[in-house]
Amino acid sequence: MRNKDRATVRRLLTHARYEVLPTPTVEAKVLESVPPSVPLTITASPSMGLERTLETTERLTVAGYTVIPHLAARMVSGRAELTDLVARLGAVGVSGIFVPGGDADPVGDYKDALSMLEDLTALGSPFTEVGVTGYPESHPTIDDDLTVQSMWDKRKHATTIVSNLTFDPAVIKDWLTRVRRRGVDLPLLLGVPGPVERTKLLGMATKIGVGDSTRFLAKQKGMMARLVAPGGFTGESFLEKCAAVAADPAMRVAGLHVYTFNQVAETESWRQDWLNRLVD
């Protein structure tokens, strides 16, 4: 790897945050293995409910972490509940949120992320960081034209784009180039998987907006070999191949959003090990 690419990968790994699911055991795992200097994002899903996301966020924030909860728009009933959520999160010092539309059927007024983002702006933009989703590949339930238009519409209410997973570095380069050409200049956090078991990674692929990547993997014997190897997929080859586009200041790739699938100890060990090797 070229020295310039090494420096880029080191920068991305240094500015990484971990996405975790609010399961009953995740807080103990985080406290044991993740330093407070690493920001965390807490997912929201219909199966677990928004309350678990909020409670996990509150406890980890009190423990000293910078925590960004996912406020899935379709799980919030309307402006009254949103106002309460803003106050509740502000009370513990939460300054950033991530706003996806969410997989649930709408429970109230918000049919999509944009409608809730507009209400947040009307409430005085109470959070200094507001992340929105970017889709490098087709989403299984959202038309491509809608994702493109949605990003343009959401840009004035947000501060950061977080990309969904893709396993193809060429997809990232082409997608980022198109995003910037359209005039969307929000900083981007590149979504990458941590060292996760192959079966779990592939099982999640179609659920989080990864389209052709599973077919891409089937054609890449080398990457498939890495997926089935002991220790699972680390994403090192992917990041190395993304380094050139991430190094371009015009692309505004600010860091990583690491999908840990709650394998936080393994993820932090991988990140630190790679940082040490890059320094050496």
Please write the tens of the pLDDT for every residue from 179-191: 999 999 999 999 9
In contact, 185 and 251? CB cutoff 8 Å: no
Domain hosting 55: range is 3-279
Q: Which two tokens stand for residue 251?
A: 């692309």
Q: Check residue 144 and give its pLDDT.
A: 57
**Residue whose C-alpha is closest to residue 118's, from 106, 103, 130:** 130
Placement of tokens 């490098």 in the chain: 136
Q: Which two tokens stand for residue 267?
A: 């993820």
Segment 15-25, tens digit of pLDDT:
999 999 999 99
The CATH number assigned to the domain holding 190 equals 3.20.20.220
| pLDDT, mean of each 10-residue run, the chain (280 residues) | 90 97 96 98 94 98 98 98 98 98 92 96 98 80 64 93 89 92 94 75 50 46 49 70 95 96 94 90
Q: What CA–CA distance (Å, rounded) separates 9 from 30? A: 24
CA dihedral 110, 112, 117, 122 (to 10 degrees): -40
**Residue whose C-alpha is closest to residue 41's, from 73, 64, 13, 19:** 19
Counted domains in the chain: 1
In contact, 265 and 29? CB cutoff 8 Å: yes
User: How is the beta sheet containing 67-69 ordered, strand by strand?
Assistant: 67-69, 40-42, 16-20, 253-259, 188-193, 160-163, 129-134, 96-98
Distances (CA, A) of 128 to 51, 67, 97, 241: 22, 13, 9, 32
Please classify residue 159 by burial: count the beta carbons closer than 10 Å to its beta carbon, then call 0-12 exposed, 13-18 middle and 19+ buried. Answer: middle
Contacts of 51 (CB under 8 A, 6+ apart): none
Q: Check residue 206 and give its pLDDT.
A: 45
Distances (CA, A) of 180 to 4, 139, 249: 22, 20, 11
**Residue whose C-alpha is closest to residue 46's, from 26, 29, 21, 66:** 21
Placement of tokens 């933009």 in the chain: 125
Contacts of 83 (CB under 8 A, 6+ apart): 123
Over the Cα atoms of the chain, what is R_g? 18
